[in-house]
Amino acid sequence: MPVRSCAVMAALLAAAALTGCAGTSSSAPKNADITVNVVNGKPQGGVKTYKVKKGGHVHFVVKSDVADEVHVHGYNFHKDVPKGGTVTFDFPAKIDGGFIAELENAHQTLINLQVEP
Amino acid sequence: MSRKRALALGASGALSAGTLAPATASAHGLVGKQDLPIPRVLFAWAAAIVLIVSFVALGALWKRSRWESGVRERELLRFPRWLEIPCGLVGVALFGLGVYAGLAGTKEATSNLLPNLIYVLFWVGLPFLSALFGDVFRPFNPWLAIARASGWVVRRIGGDSVPEPLPYPERLGRWPAVVGILGFAWLELVYVDKDNTVTLAVLSIAYCVLQLVAMSLYGADRWSRRGDAFGVYFNLISRLSPLHWRDARLYARTPLAGVVPLNAVPGTVALVCVLIGSTSFDGFSQGQIWNGSNGGAGLAGRLQDFFTGLGLSLQSALEAAFTVGLLVMIGLISGLYRLGVNGMSDIGERYPASDLSRRFVHSLVPIALAYVVAHYFSLLVYQGQATAYLISDPLGDGHNFFGTANVGINYTVISATQVWYAQVAALVAGHVSGLILAHDRAIAIYAKPSAATRSQYWMLTVMVAFTCLGLYLLSESA
Q: Do B11 and A108 touch (CB under 8 A)?
A: yes
In angstroms, the Cα distances linking B252 to B78, B249, B326 are 12, 10, 38
Chain B residues whose beta carbon lies within 8 Å of the beta carbon of residue A53: none
Tell me the C-alpha distance between B63 and B238, whole Å. 27
Of B47-61, B212-226, B308-322, the poorest mean pLDDT is in B47-61
Q: Do B51 and A13 touch (CB under 8 A)?
A: yes
Describe the crossing of helices B416-445 and B365-383 by its angle, rounded to 10 degrees: 160
Radius of gyration in angstroms for the set of CA atoms belonging to chain B, rounded to a whole number: 23
Cross-chain CB nearest to A21 (options B7, B11, B43): B43
Cross-chain CB nearest to A96 (options B4, B59, B415): B415
B312 contacts B320 by C-beta, under 8 angstroms: yes
Q: How confident is the model at residue B3 (pLDDT cuts 50, 70, 90)?
A: very low
* Fold of the CATH domain A24-116: Immunoglobulin-like (2.60.40)
The pairing of beta strand A97-103 with beta strand A108-116: antiparallel
Q: Do A108 and B7 touch (CB under 8 A)?
A: yes
pTM of the model: 0.87
B2 touches chain A (CB under 8 A): no
- Please give the order of strands across the beta sheet that includes B243-246: B74-78, B249-252, B243-246
How big is the A-B interface in CB pairs under 8 Å?
A: 121
Summarised one tens digit per residue, pLDDT across range A62-99 is 999 999 999 999 898 999 999 999 999 999 999 999 99
Cross-chain CB nearest to B8 (options A21, A47, A97): A47
B475 touches chain A (CB under 8 A): no
Summarised one tens digit per residue, pLDDT across range A19-48 is 444 434 457 889 999 999 999 988 998 888
Summarised one tens digit per residue, pLDDT across range B437-478 is 999 999 999 999 889 989 998 998 899 899 989 999 998 777
Q: Do B22 and A18 touch (CB under 8 A)?
A: no
> Over pLDDT 70: what percentage of chain B?
94
Q: How confident is the model at residue A14 (pLDDT cuts 50, 70, 90)?
A: low
The alpha carbon of residue B102 is apart from the nearest alpha carbon of chain A, in Å, by: 21
pLDDT higher than 80, residue B27: no
Instruction: With CA atoms as reference, report the closest residue to B181 among B272, B316, B281, B95.
Output: B272
Tell me the C-alpha distance between B121 and B385, whole Å. 10
Q: What is the pLDDT of residue B70?
A: 83
User: In B17-83, which residue ranges form alpha helices assigned H by DSSP?
Assistant: 40-60
Q: CA angle, B256 as apex, B254 and B261 as ends, to 5°?
A: 100
pLDDT higher than 70, residue B277: yes
Domain ranges of chain B: 75-253
Summarised one tens digit per residue, pLDDT across range B288-298 is 899 887 667 78
Cross-chain CB nearest to A3 (options B45, B58, B457): B58
Summarised one tens digit per residue, pLDDT across range B172-222 is 999 999 999 999 999 999 998 999 999 999 999 999 999 999 999 999 999
Q: Do B40 and A25 touch (CB under 8 A)?
A: yes
Q: Do B11 and A106 touch (CB under 8 A)?
A: no
Q: What is the pLDDT of residue B349?
A: 94
pLDDT higher than 60, residue B60: yes
Q: Do B47 and A17 touch (CB under 8 A)?
A: yes
The alpha carbon of residue B122 is apart from the nearest alpha carbon of chain A, in Å, by: 23
Mean pLDDT computed over every residue of chain B = 89
Of A99-108, B50-59, B254-263, B432-441, the poorest mean pLDDT is in B50-59
Tell me the C-alpha distance between B232 and B384, whole Å. 23
B20 touches chain A (CB under 8 A): no
Phi, psi for residue B309 in degrees, rounded to 5: -60, -30
Q: What is the pLDDT of residue A15?
A: 54
pLDDT higher than 80, residue B12: no
Q: What is the pLDDT of residue A26?
A: 55
Mean pLDDT across B150-158:
89
Q: What is the pLDDT of residue B183?
A: 97
DSSP state of B30: S
Tell me the C-alpha distance between B325 and B307, whole Å. 13
Q: What is the pLDDT of residue B204?
A: 98
The alpha carbon of residue A114 is apart from the nearest alpha carbon of chain B, in Å, by: 7
Q: Do B35 and A46 touch (CB under 8 A)?
A: no
Summarised one tens digit per residue, pLDDT across range B317-348 is 999 999 999 999 999 999 999 999 999 999 99
pLDDT higher than 90, residue B377: yes
Q: What is the pLDDT of residue B367?
A: 96
